[in-house]
Amino acid sequence: MYNKWVWPLILVVSLLLISIFIGGFMTSIRITSSKSESNVEQKPLVIESNEEKPLEIETGAFNILVLGDSIGFGLGDEDNLGLGQRYAKRLEDAGTDLVNVYNQSVNGAVSSDLVIEMDKKETMALTQEADLIILSIGGNNINRLLRTQNTINLELDYNETLEQYLEDLEFVLESLRKVNQNTHIAVIGLYNPYGSEIGQDKIRLLIEWNYKTQLLLTTIDKTVYVSVYDQFAQHIDDYLYIDEFHPNNQGYEHMTNELFELLEKD
């Protein structure tokens, strides 16, 4: 009787143990596999970047570097030439064999953006090989003051804005000169696109802005100020693009004429 129940019981228990063992073994395999897959997915993929390729600049050419804002960029020029390309054409017409223009200008840039530009390796490499550097900056700094309707703090805001602009410009000019002692630097003066509608007080501030800029440039060797205020004032309807703010073809051509004549005398 005892043997009749013992052996079947042992068989059932054995089968249960075998099932538990097999089940645990398969679960262990699944967990291990899941952890392994999880590790593969979470492991970051590291791609080693190549070293920065050196900028290729033709040292045998006359190299022009343009820095600054939308006027440096050439916005409004229907021929898509801008100051740099127009000046290059003048040189080629005068007999210069090869002229290259490198334009690093950015629409909407203010003087502090130009300070940041001095930290860029490409800009410094271009500066080192430049025979002429054209700067157009400051218009966006003062423009908000010319358009503001709040005149209560105008004088204070203007003085703070001018001080920061002159500090930035001096830093930029000195940075460029440290890298290249021989290049000519030309800074384009500001014009008044608004005419008399902004009022005489603001016109006075704009004229003073140009004067302080010109005064600063006298402290930096081989640096010239390109005055365009008077001619734009006399031909404002002819020199402005349809946005009534940026120069058009004629406006850029006048700026180029002033720049060319100024550097011819220098």
Residues 169, 213: Cα–Cα separation, whole Å? 9
Average pLDDT, the chain: 85
Walk across the sheet containing 223-226 and list its strands. Answer: 99-103, 62-68, 132-136, 184-188, 223-226
Q: 71 pLDDT exceeds 80?
A: yes
pLDDT band with cut points at 50, 70 and 90 for residue 8: low
Q: pLDDT tens-digit profile of 85-139?
A: 999 999 999 999 899 999 999 999 999 999 999 999 999 999 999 999 999 999 9
Q: What is the pLDDT of residue 55?
A: 61
DSSP designation for 198: G
Residues 85, 87: Cα–Cα separation, whole Å? 5
Q: What value does the mean pLDDT take over residues 134-155?
A: 91
Higher pLDDT, 215 or 15: 215
Q: What value does the mean pLDDT take over residues 148-168?
A: 92
Residues 189, 255: Cα–Cα separation, whole Å? 9
Q: What value does the mean pLDDT take over residues 155-170?
A: 97
pTM of the model: 0.79
Q: What is the pLDDT of residue 20?
A: 52
Q: Give the H or E element holding residue 132.
A: strand 132-136
CA 125 to chain centre: 15
